[in-house]
Structures are given as structure tokens and as C-alpha cells.
């Protein structure tokens, strides 16, 4: 890491790298959605300080579907379902629309990037705003399902529906995994935003890009596993504040 405070020169250099990039990708984590009111999982304010993470354990879900679903409904449908995208999600969608951002690899499952208008979103951990029948693979939107009666079931075969995101003990969706690695290996710049880089295998995406020659720009309120390791420009602060500044600098240049 060059320095921790955001000097004007760091912001300017980051803006120039983004503007001149040819195959930039973003890699986002729970931090980008904190300003939308969604807490991270860990830490004193995290969801796991209030709820038991075993509701997202695949074996527990299968053996105790009603118990799991009661917690899942509270977190992901009563709460996540009402969240709105913030300026950080919006700036990334605009970078893509302008041709600056080629792919957005996200660990988030809150659907906020898509709501902000991002198109090429590679969902490493799936999406909570879809439900799937594990048997016939039919996909439902939350509003198509009666969540007053738990656990919800598939209308076609009466199997218990599962939120379409990756549970503990479950593998990464194959296509998202393959396309994320491909995008990382082609990337010339990676914008890492709001992630500790602790969850594997997702955490290796920026490292893979760095190994293939990409320049790493990181935005986070705190240093992460990447900061003293692969990050070249560390911009310390809230995702929306930093991205708005970068957007402004790019527009002026």
C-alpha cells in the first residue's frame, strides 16, 4: 500500500486508470450495500450477531425447513426485499453503460446491482431475490410466493423452495465461477469495493487478475486482506463517496 490517506494524486491516478482502461472489472462485497441499510454478516453490527447462521447451512435447511425459513424470510424478504440501491451501485451501472466497466463480479446476494441498472453481473453467491425448486428447477420471484405459509412449496411438484443463493456447504454456481475467472484474467484494472476478501473461493478473483497483470484499486472504509497485499491504490472511505468523486474526476477529464 502506498499510503492510507486519499491524496489528490491517488484519486486522480485512479480516475485516469479507470478512464483509460480497456477491460476493467469490479469485485464487490457486503460493504457496497451498507449505505443501502443492509448490514454485513460479521462484526458487532452484523447479521450473525442477531441471527443464527445455521439457518443457511444446507443440511440444517433440509432437516429443519420451517425453522430455517422463518429466519430466511425475516432477513432476506422482509428486510433485504425493501432495500434500495445507493449511489455506489448507480455509479458502477453508469460506468458499464459508458463502456468503462466490462463485468461486475459480486459476492452480494441482494440484487441491488441489477436494480441500479448493471447488466453484466456475475453473481458468485447467487441471488436472494429468486427462489428455486430444487427438484424441477422452476424459478419464482418473492412476490409470486406466499411467504405467510412456511416453508413455501413449488406449485408444480410441492417440493420445498430454496432461496437461489449459495448456502454454507454448497458449491459456487458453475457459470458465474467460470465467467468470473475469465473476466479476471482479461482485466487490466480491478476495482475492489467493500469486501474483506475472506470468503473463498470468491476472494481469489482479484488475486487471479493481479497475477495476469491487472492494476488493483481498492475502496473500503478499513484496510482488508488485499490492502497490504495486492492493492496498488487504496482509497479509504465509504463506497458511494469515493465513487462519486471518481465519477466527477472522470467527467472533468
Residues annotated as part of the active site: 125
**Minimum CB–partner distance for residue 47 and ligand NAD (Å):** 6
Q: Is 244 in the site for ligand NAD (CB under 6 A)?
A: no
- Interactions with ligand NAD, residue window 103-132 (CB under 6 A): 107-110, 125
Among 192, 239, 243, 249, binds ligand NAD (CB under 6 A): 239
Longest dimension (CA), the chain: 60
The answer, yes or no, to whether the previous bond of 201 is cis (omega within 30 of 0) is: yes
Choice between 10 and 154, CB closer to ligand NAD: 10
182: left (phi over 0), alpha (psi -120 to 50) or beta: alpha
Q: Is 152 in the site for ligand NAD (CB under 6 A)?
A: no
Q: Describe the crossing of helices 8-20 and 239-252 by its angle, rounded to 10 degrees.
A: 70
Choice between 26 and 239, CB closer to ligand NAD: 239
**Minimum CB–partner distance for residue 156 and ligand NAD (Å):** 29
Q: Which H or E run contains 89?
A: helix 87-97
Q: Helix or strand or coil: residue 119?
A: coil
Q: Is 174 in the site for ligand NAD (CB under 6 A)?
A: no
Choice between 154 and 233, CB closer to ligand NAD: 233
Local structure of residue 78 (DSSP, 8 states): I
**Minimum CB–partner distance for residue 252 and ligand NAD (Å):** 23
**Minimum CB–partner distance for residue 186 and ligand NAD (Å):** 23
Distance CA 25, CA 18 (A): 10
Among 118, 224, 227, 236, binds ligand NAD (CB under 6 A): 224
CA-to-CA dists, residue 3 to 6, 10, 137, 168, angstroms: 8, 9, 49, 36
**Sign of the dihedral defined by the CA atoms of residues 214, 216, 110, 104, in that order:** negative
What does the DSSP assignment read for 173-208?
PHHHHHHHHHHHHH-SEEEEES--S-STTTTHHHHH
Q: Is 196 in the site for ligand NAD (CB under 6 A)?
A: yes
Number of residues that bind ligand NAD (CB under 6 A): 27
- Interactions with ligand NAD, residue window 38-97 (CB under 6 A): 38, 40-42
Query: What are the residues binding ligand NAD (CB under 6 A)?
Result: 29-31, 33-35, 38, 40-42, 107-110, 125, 194-196, 198-199, 219-222, 224, 238-239
Amino acid at each position: 500500500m502506498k499510503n492510507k490517506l486519499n491524496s489528490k494524486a491517488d484519486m486522480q491516478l485512479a480516475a485516469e486508470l479507470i478512464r483509460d482502461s480497456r477491460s476493467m472489472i469490479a469485485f464487490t462485497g457486503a460493504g457496497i450495500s451498507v449505505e443501502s441499510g443492509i448490514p454485513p454478516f460479521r462484526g458487532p453490527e452484523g447479521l450473525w450477531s442477531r441471527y443464527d447462521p445455521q439457518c443457511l447451512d444446507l443440511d440444517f435447511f433440509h432437516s429443519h425447513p420451517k425453522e430455517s425459513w422463518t429466519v430466511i424470510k425475516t432477513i432476506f424478504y422482509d428486510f433485504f426485499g425493501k432495500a434500495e440501491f445507493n449511489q455506489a451501485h448507480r455509479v458502477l451501472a453508469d460506468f458499464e453503460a459508458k463502456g468503462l466497466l466490462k463485468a461486475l463480479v459480486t459476492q452480494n446476494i441482494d440484487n441491488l446491482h441489477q436494480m441500479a441498472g448493471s447488466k453484466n453481473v456475475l453473481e458468485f453467491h447467487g441471488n436472494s431475490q429468486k427462489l428455486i425448486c430444487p427438484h424441477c428447477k422452476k424459478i419464482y420471484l418473492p412476490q409470486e410466493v406466499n411467504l405467510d405459509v412456511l416453508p413455501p412449496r413449488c406449485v408444480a411438484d410441492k417440493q420445498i423452495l430454496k432461496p437461489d443463493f449459495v448456502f454454507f456447504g454448497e458449491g459456487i454456481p458453475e457459470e458465474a465461477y467460470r465467467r468470473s475467472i475469465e473476466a479476471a484474467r482479461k482485466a487490466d484494472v480491478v476495482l475492489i469495493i467493500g469486501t474483506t476478501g475472506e470468503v473463498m473461493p470468491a476472494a481469489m478473483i482479484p488475486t487471479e487478475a493481479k497475477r495476469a497483470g491487472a492494476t488493483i484499486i481498492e475502496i473500503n472504509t478499513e484496510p482488508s486482506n488485499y490492502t497490504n497485499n495486492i492493492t496498488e491504490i487504496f482509497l479509504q472511505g465509504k463506497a458511494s463517496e469515493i465513487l462519486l468523486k471518481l465519477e466527477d474526476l472522470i467527467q472533468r477529464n
